[in-house]
Structure 1
Amino acid sequence: MKVVLLAESFLPHMNGVTHSLLQALRHLERRGHDALVIAPRSGPIDHTLYGARSVLLPSVPLPSYPDVRVTLAGAHRLAEVMHAHGAEVVHLASPFVLGWRGVLAAESLGIPSVAVYQTDIPSYAERYGVPGAAPALTRHLGRLHRRATLTLAPSSSAVERLESLGVDRLRLWRRGVDTERFAPDRRDEGRRREWAPNGEILVGYVGRLAPEKQVEDLRAIATLPGVRLIVIGDGPSRLQLERVLPEARFTGFLGGDELARAMASLDVFVHPGESETFCQTVQEAMASGVPVVATGRGGPLDLVQNSVNGWLYRPGDLDDLRDRVRDLTGDDAKRRAFGERARQSVAGRGWDRLGDELIGHYESVMGHATVTATDAEAPPSPVQDQGPVASAPPAPAPRRWSRYVAVGDSLTEGLCDTSRAPAGEYRGWADRLAMLLAVTSRDAPVGYANLAVRSRKVRDAIDVQLPEAAALGADLVSVLIGANDLVGRRVDPERLALDLGAAVSRLRSTGCDVLLVTPFLPRRPVTRFYRQRFRTYNARLRELAAATGSMLLDVEADPELIDLERWAEDRVHLNAAGHRGIAYAAARVLGVRHASVLGELEHAVHDQEEDLGLTAVGDAEWLVRHAVPWLRRRLAGRAAGDGRTPKRAQLVPVIVPTADREPRKTQLVTVQGTVTRE
C-alpha cells in the first residue's frame, strides 16, 4: 500500500502529533507499506523516518508560537506529490491548513483521505488571546472533517465534539502507549534524591509549556506541605511559568528513556489542560505505574477512573485539584494501589495493535475488505483493552465453545427481530451468534441458552443471570446490559460498571470466557441527554475488559452498526438488519472463522427494503403503538418484562442444517424454531 501522510507539525519539534505520526511510520514499515511524509520544513531532522521518504515544504512560523509552522504550498502542488508517489490513501495528521489543501488535492485525484483529529484548534485560539477567531476556526474544522472520507477521533469527548459539527463519518481510534519503555521498573532513586533531597512527595507535569495546557493552574498544589512540584517539558510559556511557580523544579525537554525514567520517578502525575482531545502523557504516566489527577474534561474522561487509578477534578476548580492531589500525597497505601491499577488499565494498548487498526481504516476507505488474523485462521492476538475496531480484543486463543449463554435485556432477547421467525417469537443477535458458533464448530455440538428478559437492569444480571449462567456450566457468556439503568432518573455509571465488573470477575474465575458488549442508543436528538452517561459507562467497560481478560465488542467504535436504518419502528430496538450487524461483529471479536465473509453472504440474501420498511413509521402512529403503552406502564409502575421468564432458560443444542436437505426447505433452527431460513 502506498500512503501519503500530511502533518501540520513535524520534526524537529516533538509533540503529540509528531509522536503519533512517527509511530504510524514505524508500523507501516513493519507491515511492508510504502510511506511518504509531507510536512512544513522547520529545521534539520535527526530522527529516523522508518524507511519513509519526506517532502518538506516552505513554511512560516505561527505568530506567538514559532514551534508551529504554516506551509504555503497549494492543493495543486500537493496533488503533484501524491500522484508522483502513486498514493492509494492520504493520512491527514491533525489537519487544519495543510490538511485542508490535502483534502482538496486527494479529491482531485480520487484518493480517499483519513483525517486524524488530534488538536482542538478553536480552543487553542481562545487560550492564545484571539477568542473572536474561534467561531470561524470551528466552522473550518467541521468543514474539513466533513470533507474527509473518514475521521478518526481519539476519545469519546472528541467524537461528541465532531458530531456537534455535523461530522458523521467517524471512527474511534485511540492512541497506543509503549508499555515497555514506560514502566514502573524505570523508577530512578538517584533522580528522586536529586529532586527531593528531603524525601518530599514528587508531583509532576509532563508536556508542552504553552497556554492551552493551563500549567499555571499547578500553583494550587505548588505549596502543599511535603510536596515537590516537577515540571517536565519546554515551550513558549516556560519563562512566565517559572515566575508563577517559583517553588517548582523545571527540567526542560526530556525524551526517550530519559523521559521514561523521569515519569516513573514521580509519585503523582497532574494534567490541568482542558483542551486535550486524548492526553497521551496521562497514558504514559499510567503505564509507569503513577496515579493521575486530571481535569474532568476532554480526553482524560476516557482514561482516568475516579477512585480506581486516579482522580478527575472539576474543570477550573483549583480547590478541588488541590484536594485530589492532597488525597494521594497524604496516603502512601492508596497511592500505591492507584498506581498498580493505573498500570493495569493500559495493558494491551501497544502501538502494534493500534497500527493494525489504522491500516484497517485505510483499507476500509479504499474499499478493500480487511482480512484480519482471525479471518485468515491465524491465531488471534492476546486480549487487550480499548481498541476501537468494530470491537475490541479477539479471543485469547483459537478455541471452540460448546456452552454459550446470553445475558442481558430486550436487545439480547431479540425484540423486534422477527425475520424468518414464527409469529410472536423473536430471533435476535445472540440467536444468530449461537448459529454462527455452531455452523463453524468442528467439534461437539453447541448448546445455547438465552437468559435475557426485556426491561432487566444490571442488578438482575449480577444477582440472577450471571449466577445462572455459571450454574449451567457456560464456557462462553455474552453480556449486553445497562441501557435501562442509564436512561433512569438517577444513576452512577461508574458504580454501575464497577458492580458489573465484580460479577464478571467472579464468572471469569470459573474459567468461562466473557464477551462484553457496550450498550448503545440511536443517534436521535432526544438521546443527547444520556450520551455522557453511556460514554462514561462504556469507558469503564473497556477497562473492565482488560482487567478481567474479557473480550469486548465496542459498538461505539463502529457507528455503522447502529445507523438509523438499523432501528425498528419502536425506535428503541434494533430491526433484523441491526441484529445481523451486531451478531457478525461479535463473531469477529470471538475469532469465528470467516465471520466477515459469512456476514456478507447473509447480507446479500436478505431483502434490505424489508428491514428498512420496519423502521419507517410516522410520528402519530409511533405515539399510538409504542409511546402511549410505554407511558401507561411507567405510570402504573410496571415494566415490559414483569412476570416474564427467559425464552431459553436451559442449554439446548443448536441444530445445524445438513447437506441432504433441499435448499429452499432448509431450516436453521437454534431452538423452538426461532431462527429459520426458508
Structure 2
Amino acid sequence: MRIALITDAWHPQINGVVTTLTQTMEVLRRLGHTVELCAPDRFYTWPCPGYPNVGLAFLCGPRLRPTLQAFKPDAIHLASEGCVGFAARRYCREMGYHYTTSFHTRFPEYFKMRIGLPLWIGYGYMRWFHSESARVMVTTESMRQALAAKGFERMVIWSRGVDTDLYRPREKDFLRDERPIFAYVGRVVVEKNIEDFLKLELPGTQYVIGDGTQRPELERKYPKARFVGFQTGEMLARYMAAADAMVFPSRTDTFGLVILEALAAGVPVAAFPAPGPIDIIGRAPVGVLGADLRQAALDALKLNPADCRRHALNYSWEQSARQFLGHLTPMIRGPHETYFKT
C-alpha cells in the first residue's frame, strides 16, 4: 500500500507524537508498504511562539498538492490539525478524496493554559477538523469516551507500543543520589503539570528528565530537584531504569508513552486517574493512580518491578502499526457511505 502520512509534528521535536509516527513508519516500511511523509521540514516555516522547535508551515498548500499528486497514494492519513494537516484536509475535500485522521494532543487544554483561549473555541476547531474524516484514531477507550461526549464521531482505537529491547531493567547505580529516586520524564512545559510533582514532599531525590520553556522557572523554585535536560536513546533508557518510581503528573496527555517506557524498564508509575494512565495501568499491579499524587508515589515503591516489565511486554510497535494499517481507508471518490462501515 502507498500511504501518505501528513503531520505538523516531526523532528527536531521530541515528543510522543513524533516517536509514534517514527516507529509506525519504520514498521510499515518493514512490512513492505511505501510511506510518503509530508512534514514541516519540506516547507518554509515560521517558529511557533513558545515552542522554538516547532515550525509552522503556513501557506504550504501549493507545494503539498503536487507532492501528493505525484505520489499517488492509496490512503491518506492526517496525523495533526496544524498548517500541513489543514492544507491536506482542504486538498482532500476539494478533490473528493477520503482520508483518516488521528487525535494525538489535547490542544484546546494547552491553549487555554497558555493564552486563555476558551475550550469551546479550541474544541470547535478540532471537531470541525475531524468532522469529515472516515475514521478518527484515538489512543484509548477513555479518550474515545471523552471525545464522544464532546461531539466527535467515527472513532477507533489506535494504541501505542514500546521498544522493550531499549527500555529494560538495568542496574540502579547509574544514579548515585539519595534514594528513593522519583523521576518525571517529558517536556518541561506548563501543560505537563510538572509542578504538582516537584512540590510533593517526598523522601530521596526528585529528577526531571527533559527540557522546555518552563525549566528555568522550575529550577529556580525547586533547587533541590535534579534537572538533567533532554535525553534520548540509550542515555534516556539508563536514566529511566535507574529510577525507583516514575511520576506522571499530566492531566491532559492522551496516552503517555513514557509510562510504557518506565514499565518496560521495570519502574512502577504513579499518576492521576486520567485518560492514558487509566487505560495503560488500569487495575494491574504496575502503578498507582490517585488524586493524592504523593501517596501514589510512595505506594508505587511497593510494587514488583517484574510485574511492570511483564505488563509492558503486551505492547509492541508492530502491533500498533498493524492496528493503524487496519484503520486506513481507500482514497476513493464518492460519499463516505459508499465504503465506510462501522
Within 5 Å, give how 1:162-561 maps onto structure 2: 162-184=147-169, 186-189=170-173, 191-193=174-176, 196=177, 199-221=178-200, 223-225=201-203, 227-305=204-282, 308-314=285-291, 320-329=292-301, 334-335=302-303, 337=304, 339-362=305-328, 364-365=329-330, 560=342
Alignment-mate amino acid for residue 62 of structure 1: C
Deviation at 1:249, TM superposition (A): 0.8
Paired residue for 1:154? 139
CA radius of gyration, larger in: 1
2-side partners of 1:167 and 1:75: how far apart? 26
Structure 1 CA distance for aligned equivalents of residues 152 and 118 of structure 2: 21
RMSD (Å) for aligned C-alpha atoms: 1.9
Cα deviation per residue 1:18-42 (whole Å; 9 max; x = unaligned)? 111111210121022221111113x
Deviations 1:395-440 (A, max 9, x none): xxxxxxxxxxxxxxxxxxxxxxxxxxxxxxxxxxxxxxxxxxxxxx
Q: Tell me the alpha carbon deviations over residues 470-515 of structure 1, each in whole angstroms, 9 at most, x when there is no partner.
A: xxxxxxxxxxxxxxxxxxxxxxxxxxxxxxxxxxxxxxxxxxxxxx
Task: Give the superposition deviation at 1:179.
Answer: 1.3
How many residues align structurally?
334
AA aligned opposite 1:340: A
Q: Separation in 1 of the partners of 2:284 and 2:261?
A: 19
Q: Displacement, 1:122? A: 0.3
Residue 187 (structure 1) shift: 3.3
| Mapping 1:77-156, distance limit 5 Å | 77-128=63-114, 130-156=115-141
Letter in 1 for 2:311: S
**Cα distance in structure 2, aligned partners of 1:307 and 1:30:** 32
* Runs (5+) with no aligned partner, structure 1: 42-55, 315-319, 368-558, 561-678
Residue 90 (structure 1) shift: 1.3
Alignment of 1:577-592 (within 5 A): none
Q: Which whole-Å CA distance do the structure 2 matches of 1:359 and 1:307 have between them? A: 28
Q: Relative CO higher for 1 or 2, CA cutoff 8 Å, sep ≥ 6? A: 2
Partners of 1:157 and 1:168 in 2: CA distance: 14
Name the structure 2 match of 1:26. Answer: 26
Return the alpha-carbon distance in structure 2 between the equivalents of residues 77 and 140 of structure 1.
24
* Distance (whole Å) between structure 1 residues aligned to residue 3 and residue 202 of structure 2: 50
Deviation at 1:307, TM superposition (A): 7.2
Structure 1 residue 219: deviation in Å? Answer: 2.5
> Residues 59 and 83 of structure 2 are in contact (CA less than 8 Å); yes or no, is this contact kept in structure 1?
no
Aligned-pair CA distance for 1:366: 5.1
Answer whether contact 2:183 2:208 (CA < 8 A) is retained.
Answer: yes
SS at match of 1:302: helix
The residue aligned with 1:415 is none
CA separation of 1:327 and 1:28: change in aligned 2, threshold 3 A = closer
1:458 aligned partner:
none
Q: AA paired with 1:296?
A: P
- TM-score, scaled to structure 1: 0.47
Tell me, yes or no, if the aligned pair for 1:142 and 1:162 is still in contact at 8 Å: no
| Structure 1: 4+ residue segments shifted above 4 A | 364-367
- Structure 2: distance between partners of 1:203 and 1:284: 15
User: Structure 2 counterpart of 1:187, which letter?
Assistant: E
Shift of residue 306, structure 1, vs aligned partner: 5.0
Q: What letter matches 2:158 in structure 1?
A: W
CA–CA distance in 1 between the matches of 2:283 and 2:192? 21
Which piece of structure 1 moves more, 203-212 or 22-31?
22-31
1-structure distance, mates of 2:65, 2:149: 31
Q: TM-score, normalised by structure 2?
A: 0.92
CA distance, structure 2, for counterparts of residue 256 and residue 201 of structure 1: 24
Matched to 2:195, the amino acid is E
Query: 2:149, 2:202 → 1: CA distance?
Result: 40
8 Å CA contact 1:90, 1:114 repeated in 2:
yes
> What letter is aligned with 1:96?
G
CA distance in 1, matches of 2:251, 2:117: 19
* Structure-1 residue corresponding to 2:336: none
Tell me which amino acid in the other structure corresponds to 1:168: E
8 Å CA contact 2:167–2:264 kept in 1: the answer is yes
2: CA distance, partners of 1:356 / 1:325: 35
Q: Structure 1: how far apart are the matches of 2:299 and 2:289?
A: 12
What is the alpha-carbon distance in structure 2 between the residues aligned to residue 233 and residue 288 of structure 1?
18
Structure-1 separation of matches of 2:221 and 2:290: 22
- Report the CA distance between 1:167 and its aligned residue: 2.3
- In structure 2, the residue corresponding to 1:158 is in which secondary structure? helix
Aligned partner letter, 2:252: S
1:35 aligns with 2:39: no
